[in-house]
Structure 1
Amino acid sequence: MEAAIGISKENLAAVAHSLSKVLADEFILYTKTRKAHWCVTGPDFHSKHVFFEGLYNQLEEVIDTVAERIRTLGHFPPATLKEYLALTHLTEQTREKNDGLGFIKELLADHESILIHLRENINGYANKLKDAGTSDYITGLMEFHEKTAWMLRAHLE
């Protein structure tokens, strides 16, 4: 059954497709954060292990809310690794060292990349696609990534 929520069918499809890319980015970032949690080594192992666990738990919730937003719009979210890799603008991790600061630098770059992508698209949801709800949702998502980026940067100062 189609969602009759005051947004054209074409715009709903465009928003859902855009959010599918966001979902892919979030899932890839989640996976990279899980890797950091599992593989971090060094004298700061315990604190970084716990820190990364907190981050991936937050990202797990983000993933769920993005997928539910897509469903709210009457579409189905991508849900396979193949789809995520085709949709994401992030790259998979290729680092050889498992040091905490290295993981933090890479995760920071990904959070900032997602932030830029969200910021570039936020006004289009409200203005071009007539979906103020998704625009508002993306504002909250940006705030999450801004705060997380700040916390990651603080480790590097």
Structure 2
Amino acid sequence: LGNANYRIQKELHNFLNNPPINCTLDVHPSNIKIWIVTYKGLENTIYANEVYKIKIIFSNDYPLKPPTVYFLQKPPKHTHVYSNGDVCLSLLGDDYNPSLSISGLILSIISMLSSAKEKKLPIDNYTHADAKPGSSQNNFLYHDDKC
């Protein structure tokens, strides 16, 4: 307990052996706490064949605290993805649970993207557009109960 690296190694093993659909993973060569997930949009969605990169940064408090998760530029245009790359997802904020796996978290993001019917920025994008990505979700406005 308390050793983030042990949990991260377990998550890494699980992700590599059973990656979420259309995802590949690159781990920083000298820091196991920095991951880049490359996701290719699912067929029959508005993001079909589009490629996005999601950065995941684990803190020393992981899994007690959620990882920092955001899209690298250029993020998908989605009502729960800010133009700076931040993802407005309650699982990364108030609804985070330490038992949630990184694969499960990525699957939630894939589900969020796959269910979108239009490409549209969040209504409060202007409040995040210039912010450094990966900020705390404490001040996020959850626009609906879908994420």
TM-score with structure 1 setting the length: 0.26
Larger Rg over CA atoms: 1
* Higher strand proportion (structure 1 or 2): 2
